[in-house]
Chain A
Amino acid sequence: MLVLSLSSQIPRAAEGPFSVVLTPLQQLFSGAGSAINDLFRSAGELQDLRQRVQTLQRQVDELSIENLRLREFQAEVRQYRDLLNFASQNPIYDVVGADVIGLSGTCPSEDASRLRAGVCASVIASDPSPFSRYLTINVGRQHGIRVGMPVVGGGLALIGRVGQVNEASSQVQLLIDPNSYVNVQVVSSRATGTVAGQSDGSLLLQNVPQTDNLEADDIIVTSGLGGALPPQLPVGRVERIISTDAQLFKEAIVRPAVDFNRIEIVLVITAAPNMTATLQAP
């Protein structure tokens, strides 16, 4: 009995000091064991996880495609809405098919591309000189293109004017070319001015009288003054006003309505009722 009693007491007495050393080791080993267990379990679950990942990836792909389609439909609807608004506000222009350009990503067939008011063209090159901003399009003299004709991109925003015409191609002087000047109008205040291209690829609105109201986010459209361009073609929005009250005219930086780096399809307006100077050089 004494022996039994002592043998049961010794471990208990030794438990305190041992536990100090053992506990961390136990924790370490336990952790290692758990890790090994997890490892084997993970290996076992790997196949299952792989299948689930594949299933989820498939779902993500399907949803992404569906999302893309919905965005395209949304953009299509927006373009149709813009066109309807534009057409109802400007019944003198017939720009049928402009929305098709944006949808198809390429020009429609030859018959369809010969629109009543415009000719569809694809951008095939840009000027090799880094100092000028021109694009080359695949329609030229044989398609009825003349120097000075306005060129619009998606959403009928003005991108520039035809600067040079060859037999089967033309060069379009972009709005952002340093030698491009366009008469414009501020939609909200009806103030008129000039938008000039800048070397850094931005647009500068200038010659707006100090007495006229000009604010950030104002929409800028062509004024049609001079007859070189039809009126009401979107040019951009006022980004910030850079002039001071002391200056004779107001000046502002304009954010273009189109991304000039991503122009692929354009529409050349060959005729418009009040566009009288289409044959003038830009």
Chain B
Amino acid sequence: MRWHVGAFVVLLALALTETSLLPAAIGGGLQPGLVLIATSVWVALRGVEGLFWVFVGGFMLDLTSNLPVGLTSLSLLLGNVVAGILDRAPIPSATVRAVTWVALVTVVSYGISIAGMAISGLDVDVVYAMTNVILPLLVINPALAIVAHVALNQVNLRQRRREAGRTIAL
């Protein structure tokens, strides 16, 4: 329970950093998808179980977004599902796998966002979005995924040890 509360607080802090702190600090322009990176790396480490946190993180962003409610969480979920389906290549390094995972989620989730906006009747310049948003984020997000993987891998290992201890106790 305590772990879930802690994870929720961390995710909330990331969402607030992404939507409030970073825009104020760097003043507009492209910002990394911190929630996307953290939740995607967690799914890459934990599998299907991590999808719960993807939904929670996406919903937090939905609350601050003017896009149709649920679009952000849905796009993040689908992005991770697609990344999971495509995760068949034998990548020896866990960090490289996490980076690839985040890159895939970036492309798929933003692609779904664009499609969702178009379906909702909102104007979106697809060429501009591809060249000026998705492509730069394909560099920024995976680069930050390396840092996220290092940190979350430690959390994952600790979590695994705790789970193993609980299993033995049972």
Contacts and interface: CB of A to CB of B under 8 A. Distances in A.
Contact of B29 (A127, A131, A261): A261
A179 B125 CA distance: 11
Contacts of B64: 125, 127-128, 136
Contact of B129 (A124, A164, A171, A199): A199
A163 interface: yes
A130 B30 contact: yes
Contact of B133 (A128, A130, A198): A130
B123 interface: yes
A164 B67 CA distance: 11
A262 interface: yes
A125 B66 CA distance: 12
- Name which of B16, B20, B33, B61 has the most chain A CB atoms within 10 A of its CB: B20
Interface in A180-209: 198-201
B122 interface: yes
B27 interface: yes
A200 B65 contact: no
B123 A178 contact: yes
A253 B67 CA distance: 27
B65 A129 contact: yes
Contacts of B24: 123, 264
A260 B20 contact: no
Contact of B123 (A123, A128, A136, A179): A179
Interface residues of A, number: 26
Contacts of A127: 19, 64-67
A126 B72 contact: no
B27 A261 contact: yes
B18 A128 contact: yes
A199 B132 contact: yes
Interface string A87-123: 0000000000000000000000000000000000001
Contacts of B31: 130
A131 B129 contact: yes
Q: Which of B20, B23, B27, B30 is packed against the most chain A CB atoms within 10 Å?
A: B23
B137 A130 contact: yes
Contact of B66 (A130, A164, A200, A264): A164
Interface string A169-182: 00101000011000
Task: Please classify how large the interface on chain B is, using the bins under 10, 10 to 19, 20 to 34, 35 or more.
Answer: 20 to 34
Interface in A13-66: none
B113 interface: yes
Contacts of B132: 199-200
Contacts of B66: 127, 129, 132, 134, 163-164, 171, 173
A131 B33 CA distance: 13
Contacts of A262: 27
Contact of B125 (A178, A260, A264): A178
Among A126, A131, A198, A200, find the residue whose CB has the most chain B CB atoms closer than 10 A. Answer: A131
A121 to B, nearest CB: 14
B28 A178 contact: no
Contacts of A179: 122-123
B65 to A, nearest CB: 5
Nearest to B15: A128
Interface string A140-181: 000000000000000000000001100000010100001100
A201 B123 CA distance: 14
Contacts of A164: 66
B155 interface: no
Contacts of A129: 65-67, 72, 113
Given A164-B66, A264-B24, 13 more contacts: A123-B24, A124-B20, A126-B19, A126-B23, A126-B28, A128-B33, A128-B65, A131-B67, A132-B67, A136-B64, A163-B66, A179-B122, A198-B125
Of all A-B residue pairs in the complex, the 8 with the closest CB atoms, nearest first, are A261-B28, A199-B125, A199-B128, A261-B27, A126-B23, A125-B19, A125-B20, A134-B66
Interface of B: 15-16, 18-20, 23-24, 27-31, 33, 35, 61, 64-67, 72, 110, 113-114, 117, 122-125, 128-129, 132-133, 137
